[in-house]
Structures are given as C-alpha cells and as structure tokens.
Amino acid sequence: MFITNGGGEMERERAERLRRILKTKDIKEEDIILSHTPYKEYVEEYKEKRIMVIGRNPEGDIEIMKHYGYKNVVTLEEMVEKMPYAIPYSGGGGQGRGYIPIEKLKEQEKIHAIFILQNPIDWNEATQIMCDLVQGNGRMIQEKNQTETIPVYMCNPDMVYGGQFNIPRLTQGAFVEGYKAIFKRLYPKKQCNIIACGKPTDITFKYATERLKTEEPKDVWMIEDNPEALRGAVKAGWNTILVKTGVYKQGITQLDYQPTFI
C-alpha cells in the first residue's frame, strides 16, 4: 500500500504512474491512499450539500470530489469569478460568468464546508475567501454577532516537504497555519474549526489500517522520508523505517520518538 500526502489527482492516476515508474502491473487503485482519499469518509454528511474545494486544477478538483460521491461542488476559482469585488486587485475586475451583485449575496446557497485538496497557488486569494465564508457561516456576508462557523477540511498537515532545493519547501500545513493565524486575529470570538487528515493524523492511519484488514499492527512496516509523517505510524503501533533521502537530515533533524530503523 502507498500512503502519500501528495494529491490533486485520482487514485487510479497515481497507481498508473507508479506502475510505469516501477515497471510492474501489481499496483491497483485500491493500493493508493492519497492525502485526500479519507475525504470519502465524509460523503454521507455532505453528499447533497454545497461545498467549496481548493486546489490547483479546478476541473480536476471537481472530478475528484464527484468521484468520491459529493454532488454539489464549487471551486475557489468559481467563487472569485462570480464575486470579483471580493478580490479587487486580482486582475479580474469584470463581470464574469455567473456574476453575483453584492446586494444579492444573502440569497446565495450556503457553503457547508471547505475542502482543501492541495495548497493553492495564490495563498492570499484563498485565505481571503476562506475567512469570508467561515466568518459568515458559509455565506459571503459579514456576521458580527454569529459565533457558529463552517469547518475547513485539510488533507496534508506537513509544514514542509523535501525537493530538489536544499532547503525544505512550504506546503499545505504551512498554508493552513497562516490562514488560522489570520482568522483568529480578525475574528477572535469565532470558532476556527480545522479537521485534518493525511499523515500523521489518526484519521488517515485508521483508514489505512481498515484497508489493510490487519488485526496486528506489528505486522505492518512503513517506510517514510518525513519524520513528522512517520509519527502517525509509530502511534498506530506499526514498525517504521525512516530514510535519509527526504526531509530528515542526520545530525540536524531532531526526533522525539524512535523509528524501528533509520
């Protein structure tokens, strides 16, 4: 089984890519758990309700969520196109497809939750719309006396990842931390409800354990290059191997738990 905090694609696409890279036919869609695969667990709650999805490929993001079973999905990009005044310096400015006049905002269908598939390219745009929707309990209107807010689902708590550059790069966890800090500063009396899956969360490792159909955690071995992601496997009771080819740097990275092997 392959568990990754990567995403933004279908499980079958990742399986196909791995088959090509590893030159094998033995990897199936069911063997892949992407960062957002556990979003399948929330379908019953939001199946018919309108949700907003944030990622990097609007058409692909809608396809992923509808494949999981969500029926009423809108993207961040659609929201900005319909309400260009919400991001006045983004360059849109005009009245795009489905333009909503400001005076009609209260009549719009409520967004019941925000789901992040990947950290967005434009963090400012995403943070602004997220803050607006969450404080308005799903609507782009100011609600000063209302404390109830909609939840934000994230699927990659990692702050950084290892790449070609010699300094780790920021990813979704860093984006959400920025959003939380801004929201709490703007709306200190309102709840900032973040529900996280992806490694190392309990949600993802519980999902993986159920998929593995094993009753004995010590029968499972996990190989990982990110010490923080490996933490979930240690907590789940799995055997763990931390490799030195990613975020972990021997002599620099501090560990507060002990992998089975490094």
Using the predicted structure, report yes or no on whether residue 262 has a pLDDT greater than 60. Answer: yes
Question: CA-to-CA distance for 251 and 165, rounded, in angstroms?
Answer: 19
- Model confidence band, residue 251 (pLDDT cutoffs 50, 70, 90): confident
pLDDT of 13-47, one tens digit each?
A: 999 999 999 999 999 999 999 999 999 999 999 99
Beta strands of 69-170 (E only): which ranges?
72-75, 113-116, 152-154, 160-161, 169-170
Q: Parallel, antiparallel, or unpaired: how do β-strands 194-196 and 152-154 relate?
A: parallel
Using the predicted structure, report yes or no on whether residue 249 has a pLDDT greater than 90. Answer: no
Residue with tokens 């499972």: 220
Overall average pLDDT of the 112-118 stretch: 97
Using the predicted structure, report yes or no on whether residue 63 has a pLDDT greater than 90. Answer: yes
**Average pLDDT along the chain:** 90
